[in-house]
A and B are shown apart, each in its own frame.
Chain A
Amino acid sequence: MAFAAPAAVIVALFFLVPLGLSVWISLHHWPLLAGDHTFNAPDNYKAVKDDLFKHAVVFTLKYTAITTVVLSLVAFALALLAQEARRLRGIYRTTYFLPAALGLAASSLIFFALYNETHGPLNDILGATHISGPINWIGTPNNALLSTVAMITWRFAGFYMLILLTGLQAIPGDVYDAARVDGAGWWRTLRSITLPLMRPTIALMMILSVSGSILAFDQFYILTNGGPDNSTVTVVLQIYRQAFFLFDLGKGAALSIVVLVLLLALNSVQFRILRPSD
């Protein structure tokens, strides 16, 4: 039908064709700039054994685990707070959510300036309040990781709060009334009612957070540039370097096919674990 034709053309030309092309490129020696494309399968796929790639996989998984836990807890706390029927609630919600209106690149740049030792205000604040000495925010591998998690939490917590709020609002009020009549306290209500009923929403949040973190690129490219000493190179950053710095599109494509397969597997496992039990 003519009405769906534009959508079909875009999906076919810019999604299905590239998807196939990606497999094709991964089977060839394919330099970025010039030169012949010769069939060399499965040589490109051997790049998964590179030390840098292996390190990137480990780092990305670690980053994903930390980010998902921290982000979920903060977002959940925000949602519970923003859910309470109180004055100024709208203003608080908008404030928590505001960073999500900024781009990930802009957010990374803001924190790049914040974390800078001479320009940024954080160490001045620490000094003035005598909380601690100056911190090298992105100068050591651990600090670089945690500072990035902090930035991502700031950027995404409000976004996930909004997802959780839609789930919270879907819980009928009389369930809570019944619990109150039965004398259930706040903690009991949270554990026995809110969390179980929120399962699909929490599942959605986890899947989005895990997929997003596994594919992390902007934040590490801009904030840490993979440093110090390549300690914060993520899988996607490594693929980018392989393809566009080392000019090897074949290897880059092979590695991204590997990531695609891994991510699909991970998502299907998550769906299975988090699926409502009924």
Chain B
Amino acid sequence: MSVTTIRSVRRGHSARRVRTGRTVAYYVVSTVLAAVFLFPVVWTTWSSIHGTQATGSGGGGVGVDNYRRLFDYGEGFGRYFANSVIVSTLTVAGTVAISLLGGYAFAYLPFRGRGVLFIAALAILMVPYTTLLIPLYILLQWLGLQNTLVGLALVLIMLQLPFGLFMMRNSFEALPAELEDAALVDGCSVWKVMTRVLLPGVIPGLVTVALFAFLASWNEFVAPLIFLSDGTKFTLPVALVNLRSGTFGSVDFGALEAGIVASAAPCVLLFLFLQRYYVTGFSAGAIKA
């Protein structure tokens, strides 16, 4: 700041004016843009605690009526929320465990088919998800997993594996090789090396994988739409889209907005707290790609 100030003083008044003009323009443009990006979220939150149009009691005061109607909607909002928690927990746990073990194997253990398996996993990204949905629908039926949260979670784990394996392989490879050698010389088993010596070093990578898996599974819409047929199994996005379709042609916007806020809150909070890990995951993926 001070260096630039000195420079502009030296260059005289016109340069300073240009600089101030640029600064003002920067803040005006940035603030307007920020307002535009925030507006939909703020408006949705604001209207979720205002108005009671569906019950017809009128008035525009602040209240939680929208949330009350939301909690009574369908099988009850609590049920949908719980379903989403179950699917996300299974997906995150599965993705983290499989990526951790797989990433270690890809980084350190020479095994037959290593290259083929890694390419096959990355190929998941190349194939449109839609191409897989129809055969997966049949496959889950054969396995008796159709219309189950476990079946849905298994599909979501598969979709997260390319990123998870890639990320964890890189995390393990980034650790100094001497760490593992030293521990092996000291007589640790492979398992002990992994859990005691290497795990602490790859925790940031694991958090990133977990965060991506959570956001993806919590927000997934198409897979539950196709695989779940029973209303008691619906996850939040499917339940909310049903709410949007309305009953007898009228949509309860208040309850819909309450539902959006309640279902998005965990994602937004988690993201704000773990932003750092999100960005790490990004640069890891973007730079290598």
Residues of A whose CB lies within 8 Å of any CB of B are: 1, 3-4, 6-8, 10-19, 21-22, 25, 78, 81, 84, 86, 88, 91-92, 94-96, 98-99, 101-107, 109-114, 116, 119, 121, 154, 157-158, 162-163, 166-167, 170, 201, 204, 211, 214-215, 217-218, 221-222, 236, 239-240, 243-244, 249, 252-253, 256-257, 259-260, 263-264, 267
Q: Which residues from B are CB-within-8-Å of A21? A: 135, 138-139
Interface of chain B, main secondary structure: helix
Q: B158 near A: Cβ within 8 Å?
A: yes
Nearest first, the 6 closest Cβ-Cβ pairs linking A and B are: A103-B219, A7-B102, A1-B111, A18-B135, A101-B271, A21-B135
Q: Which residues from A are CB-within-8-Å of B105? A: 1, 3-4, 7
Of A3, A19, A166, A214, which one neighbours B283 at CB under 8 angstroms?
A166
Measured CB to CB, the closest approach of chain A to B239, in angstroms, equals 10
B213-236: CB near A (< 8 Å → 1, else 0) gives 001001111100010000000000
Across the two chains, which residue of chain A brings its CB closest to B191? A3
Counted as pairs of residues, one from A and one from B, with CB atoms less than 8 Å apart, the total is 227
Q: B136 near A: Cβ within 8 Å?
A: yes
Of A92, A116, A154, A259, which one neighbours B130 at CB under 8 angstroms?
A259
In chain B, positions 145-159 with a C-beta closer than 8 Å to chain A are 154-155, 157-158
Across the two chains, which residue of chain B brings its CB closest to A17? B139
Q: Which residues from B are CB-within-8-Å of A222? A: 221, 241, 244
* Max chain A Cβ within 10 angstroms of own Cβ: one of B23, B139, B237: B237
Q: Which residues from B are CB-within-8-Å of A22? A: 131-132, 134-135
Residues of B whose CB lies within 8 Å of any CB of A are: 23, 26-27, 29-30, 33-34, 36-38, 40-41, 43-44, 47, 53, 97-99, 101-102, 104-106, 109, 111, 113-114, 117, 120-121, 123-124, 126-139, 154-155, 157-158, 161, 165, 215, 218-222, 226, 237, 240-241, 244, 251, 253, 256-257, 260, 263-264, 267-268, 270-272, 275, 279, 282-283, 286-287, 289
A256, B128: Cβ atoms under 8 Å?
yes
Measured CB to CB, the closest approach of chain B to A249, in angstroms, equals 6
Q: Could you give 9 example pairs across A and B, Cβ below 8 Å?
A: A7-B165, A21-B138, A94-B275, A101-B264, A103-B220, A105-B221, A236-B128, A256-B131, A260-B128
Whether A7 touches B161, Cβ cut-off 8 Å, given contacts A1-B105, A98-B41, A236-B130, is: yes
A92, B289: Cβ atoms under 8 Å?
no
A19, B282: Cβ atoms under 8 Å?
no
Whether A106 touches B130, Cβ cut-off 8 Å, given contacts A10-B98, A10-B157, is: no
Whether A99 touches B282, Cβ cut-off 8 Å, given contacts A15-B158, A113-B257, A259-B131, is: no
Measured CB to CB, the closest approach of chain A to B60, in angstroms, equals 13
Measured CB to CB, the closest approach of chain B to A261, in angstroms, equals 10
Across the two chains, which residue of chain B brings its CB closest to A207? B289
B26, A86: Cβ atoms under 8 Å?
yes
Q: Which residues from B are CB-within-8-Å of A214? A: 128
Q: Which residues from A are CB-within-8-Å of B53? A: 119
Measured CB to CB, the closest approach of chain B to A242, in angstroms, equals 10
Measured CB to CB, the closest approach of chain A to B19, in angstroms, equals 12
B104, A3: Cβ atoms under 8 Å?
yes
Cα A84 to Cα B275 in complex, Å, equals 20
Cα A114 to Cα B105 in complex, Å, equals 49
Across the two chains, which residue of chain B brings its CB closest to A252? B134
Of B27, B30, B47, B161, which one neighbours A10 at CB under 8 angstroms?
B161
A260, B264: Cβ atoms under 8 Å?
no
Whether A11 touches B134, Cβ cut-off 8 Å, given contacts A1-B111, A166-B283, is: no
A14, B158: Cβ atoms under 8 Å?
yes
Q: Which residues from A are CB-within-8-Å of B268? A: 98, 101-102
